[in-house]
Chain A
Amino acid sequence: MTRILTPGCLAIFGLVAFSPKVIPAEEAAASRSLDLPATMIFAEGPNRYDGEVLEIFQGRGSTIGWYVEAKRAEPVDVFVEYTCEAPLNQAYQLSFDGENRFWEVDPTLDESWQRAHLGTFTMRAGLPVLVLLVPPSQTKFSHPVRFRRLVLESETPDNLSLSGLPEPPVSPDGAPGFGEKLADLHPALVARDLRDESLTLRVSGLARRGGNELLLTTWDGDLYALDLEALPEAGTPPFRLLARGLSEPMGLAVSGDRIFVTEKNQVTELIDDDGDGRFETYRCVSQDWPATMDYHEYLFGAVIRDRHLYFCNSVGMARRGQDNYQAPLRGSLIRVDLQSGERKILAGGLRTPDGVGIGNDGRILITDNQGEWLPANKLIVAREGAFHGFRSIPPWHPLDTGKQDPPAVWLPQGEVAASPTQPIVLPESWGPYQGHILFGDVTYGGLQRVVLEEVDSVPQGAVFRFSQGFHHAFHRFALTDDGTLYAGGIARGKDREFIERVSGLTRIAFTGEPVFEPLAARIRSNGLEVEFTEALAQGTGWDPAAWHVTRWGYQPTQTYGGRKVRHRLAAVRAATVSSDRRRVFLEIPDLVEGEVVHVRLSRSLSSASGRPLRSGDLWYTANRIPEDRPGEVRPAPSGALTAAEPWFRFGTGDVGEQVYRNFCSACHSLDGEKRAGPTFRGLAGSIRKVRPDPGADAQEIEATRDYLHESILDPNALLSDGYLPNQMPPLGDLLTPEQIDAVVNFLIEQTSPR
């Protein structure tokens, strides 16, 4: 059962923003104290209630949180009332409006209630503040923490009040590219699958050598070359094996004739000592950071700038449920001198930073994957000394001062990314997309596009869906001088058929074919400007109702993923079309720094040339809001605010299908096609082999509605036989209970015997 606070948001389209219903504090506390009862949390996950007491056996998947409001800003003390019969192996986290404290739970001697002071925080006035009590991730306890309430105490009587959980805004009905993943290849792209049926190329690194040679490393430890001049227009590409015996290479870079590979535990230069074309020497350029036997410790990416190699190392995962230990310096952006091997830690707090690239201005770009401490995926513009939020247990990363550098762009999970990979900047030959950043995704698939700008020297920008319709899930990229993009695919999981199908190499050419889609977005002091690839049709774009705008923040926690914080509609007060009809300024009052603004465009918009809109979503991360860049607001021409048809339709689409397409379809097919997870074909009512943990005996269970619910909330609870734990994230924190019900209904309907 999931308990939800009373909805309190006036979700009236086009009108407002956030107006939560206020629940008065207990009369007895009408002074300086506010109770946050255990019964009023968002979701208990796999835990259970004993009357009004929540017994927490397991952290993953539960959301113990409340929204609190204050009339005036002031310090607030937070207390917890609990019992706990034995010590825990890890600390709880209290996240107060993004400020963290760690609570080492002292055992209580008997079952009497104890009250512990968790810290003093600064309560801001205005927007509701989210208070989260977060159990250790990945941990199951034989004895629970019995938890009754948090208590907030302030100086000023009646200053604090408990808000209801705002109900997420209702999304307009989806279609591919509009609230859903795109379904096809971008019209301006031509893609060719460079397949050699005799090879399984799980591409882990890709780089050019000289003018016409492409080098690629594979997950299996090989280095191949492809002579692009000898590439036939059809038939098998002439891949040539150059080297082997590499240890989980995940990055490849070439400087002149020198080849560098980031392997699992070291940076390696491949050297041909005698010029015979064979690499006899693997030089260890650097291994100057600790390593353990954790399977998830990788070196990701490899780019060269100024005689230095830049790459990231990921954090371990194997001990998260045990004691959450990380080897020192894990989760870093690292720079190594190519000659001396001298190593410098440039940034920390990364988790699974698979993608490393170089931006327009020479700065390093990083993509990082959603998970613990990352409520969504990220595109980061690196800054020396920055800390990006992933924490383990003390000793902290040397750059962890408790404060986090925000990403340049949040990449919301399931909506536009799931496992983002290498970012690459597009060259001049890509026309309107010159300077934009493409990145791949080994779960979500396809290519997405980011456009950056700076405000007060802080990078930020927007992400757009760009293309699906490829054979491969792209991991690494290389561009040739003529702008041809080579994209290497890699498959997750262990299913051989899936691996062979999704891995490989694709050649992508930009044709310049005109497309009508949002091109860029720019922040203004009073709203957001959206630029299009073509002029809008005469008289369109002026109606504020044609723009469905929502916004939210993120609050990182030590448990997997995270919900949108203060997810609410944003009022569009006016829409002003530029004189060339290529840009529309959306006046949005009260933009909040640090939040994501999501704009859904109406499918009814068309270009002056009559082309329909290809994609209709953008997500802008507003790290800074400029004070001196107002957007121009002009009155709409007469007749421009009249629409013959509603710009959006609500409730006629299948929410369950939409959730399936955004969150499930990358790994689970409906038709039996093999993907990273088990297919859903014939699922409903079937007998499944599952294991409570990988070492346990398999047991048979019927795939009922309850089973599906449990698997969505806690995928590790009943693992499908043959699959490892933690491959699927718990979705209880990303989806509303209504969305979960909808997707369960959809799956039952789609997979029942007919």
Chain B
Amino acid sequence: MNLSPMRRRFLLGFLFLTAPAFADEAGLPFDPERIHRSSLDGVPRSLSIRQGEHSWLGYDLERGTAFTVWTGKPGTTGLIVDGFTTRSQGETRFTDSSDGSWRLSRDGEPVVTSFHYLACSDRAEAVELLWEVRHDEGAVRIRERVPHRLHESERGQVVRVLAVAGLGENGQLHLPEATAGKWTLLDAEGAETKWVDRDGTYRLILP
């Protein structure tokens, strides 16, 4: 079979990327090579998700946000495991050392909320994180998908897909401040937006 150099590279890349996901010894979800649920970089409740070959996202489960994104050096896993702790290793592309979380406003006025981590699902195409922003009248649910692999056009980027539900009329969901400063938020039509102002799907992209 003759393959063009580009197609060969694509196939090899695809095989490499999918290998850890589907060729592990038991084929079970939550392979620590791709999702590590131990404390990362000094954040007690955190987990690490690998995207693509070398990209990692570190989530603070109490704040509901990615607090670090890094690229592991080729030839390394990018994650050093030591007992119940892990450390990111490689080039840091984003970091949020604040204590900021999602903020909710209604008609422009801040709403008192509490933030809750509900679940992590390891599915065939993506890792899903489920968050809930609770307030006095109900709750906003954020289902966040971190694709295992990236589309060819997204190489070099880090992509998170958000599905927001329960926002209600006149509600606005604001990204954690550090995230808003570095990530680009796109609505379902691909238009850039500053905040979430209606239920639906959004994409967060770290260039």
Contacts and interface: CB of A to CB of B under 8 A. Distances in A.
Contacts of B30: 243-246, 279, 282
B38 A284 contact: no
B9 interface: no
Contacts, number: 77
Contacts of A264: 38-39, 84
Contact of B32 (A221, A241, A280): A221
A273 B37 CA distance: 20
Contact of B117 (A246, A278, A287, A292): A287
A283 B118 contact: yes
Interface string B81-107: 001110000000000000000000000
Contacts of B120: 281-282, 284
Interface string A552-578: 000000000000000000000000000
A114 interface: no
A247 B121 contact: no
A248 B31 contact: no
A291 B32 contact: no
B45 interface: yes
Contact of B44 (A246, A281, A284, A293): A293
A245 B123 contact: no
Contact of A284 (B35, B39, B118): B118
Contact of A279 (B29, B37, B84, B118): B29
A243 B83 CA distance: 19
Contact of A246 (B31, B37, B42): B37
A280 B118 CA distance: 14
A241 B26 CA distance: 7
Interface in A282-340: 282-284, 287, 291-293, 295, 297
Contacts of B142: none
A273 B121 contact: yes
Contacts of A241: 26, 28
B117 A280 contact: no
A443 interface: no
B122 A280 contact: yes
A297 B120 CA distance: 22
B61 interface: yes
A377 interface: no
Contacts of A279: 28-30
B143 to A, nearest CB: 12
Nearest to A279: B29
A245 B37 contact: yes
A706 B175 CA distance: 63
Given A244-B26, A248-B84, A287-B45, A280 B37 contact: no
Contacts of A245: 29-32, 35-37
A595 B207 CA distance: 69
A292 B44 contact: yes
B44 A265 contact: yes
B121 A280 contact: yes
A625 B132 CA distance: 53
Contact of A280 (B36, B44, B123): B123
A296 to B, nearest CB: 10
A266 interface: yes
A731 to B, nearest CB: 28
Contact of A247 (B27, B38, B119): B38
B28 A278 contact: yes
Interface residues of B, number: 27
B84 A295 contact: yes
A605 to B, nearest CB: 50
Interface string B25-65: 01111111001111100101100000000000000011000
A281 B119 contact: yes
A265 B62 CA distance: 11
Contacts of A278: 27-29
Given A244-B28, A244-B31, A265-B45, A282 B119 contact: yes
Nearest to A284: B117
A295 B38 CA distance: 12
Interface in A219-265: 221, 241-248, 263-265
A256 B35 CA distance: 28
A654 B36 CA distance: 53
A284 B26 CA distance: 24
| A241, A264, A292, A297: residue with the most chain B Cβ atoms closer than 10 Å | A264
Contacts of B123: 280
B38 to A, nearest CB: 5
| A241, A266, A271, A281: residue with the most chain B Cβ atoms closer than 10 Å | A281
A247 B61 CA distance: 14
A287 B119 CA distance: 11
A287 B118 CA distance: 10
Interface in A612-646: none
A295 B82 CA distance: 11
Given A243-B30, A244-B30, A293 B42 contact: yes
B57 to A, nearest CB: 16
A737 to B, nearest CB: 38
Nearest to B37: A247
Contacts of A293: 39, 42, 44, 85
B39 A280 contact: no
A247 B29 contact: no
B205 to A, nearest CB: 26
Given A280-B121, A280-B122, A281-B121, A295 B83 contact: yes
Contacts of B36: 245
Interface in B67-84: 83-84
Contacts of A292: 44
B192 to A, nearest CB: 32
Contacts of B61: 266, 284, 287
Contacts of B121: 273, 280-282
Contacts of B45: 265-266, 287, 291
A291 B44 contact: yes
A241 B24 CA distance: 12
A730 B27 CA distance: 47
A243 B122 CA distance: 12
Contacts of A287: 45, 61-62, 117
A263 B37 CA distance: 10
Contacts of A297: 44
A295 B44 CA distance: 10
Contacts of B28: 241-244, 278-279
Interface in B135-193: none
| B37, B42, B45, B61: residue with the most chain A Cβ atoms closer than 10 Å | B37
B132 to A, nearest CB: 10
A244 B25 CA distance: 11
A279 to B, nearest CB: 6
Interface in B1-43: 26-32, 35-39, 42
A243 B39 CA distance: 19
A51 B125 CA distance: 75
B32 A283 contact: no
Contacts of A295: 83-84
A198 to B, nearest CB: 12
Contacts of B119: 271, 281-284
A220 B192 CA distance: 44
Interface of B: 26-32, 35-39, 42, 44-45, 61-62, 83-85, 117-123
10 contacts: A245-B36, A247-B38, A265-B39, A278-B29, A279-B30, A280-B121, A280-B122, A287-B61, A291-B44, A293-B44
Interface of A: 221, 241-248, 263-266, 271, 273, 278-284, 287, 291-293, 295, 297
Given A245-B37, A264-B84, A287-B61, 10 more contacts: A247-B84, A248-B84, A265-B44, A266-B45, A282-B120, A283-B118, A284-B120, A287-B117, A293-B39, A295-B84
In the A-B complex, the 3 residue pairs with the smallest Cβ-Cβ separation, listed nearest first, are A245-B30, A291-B44, A281-B121
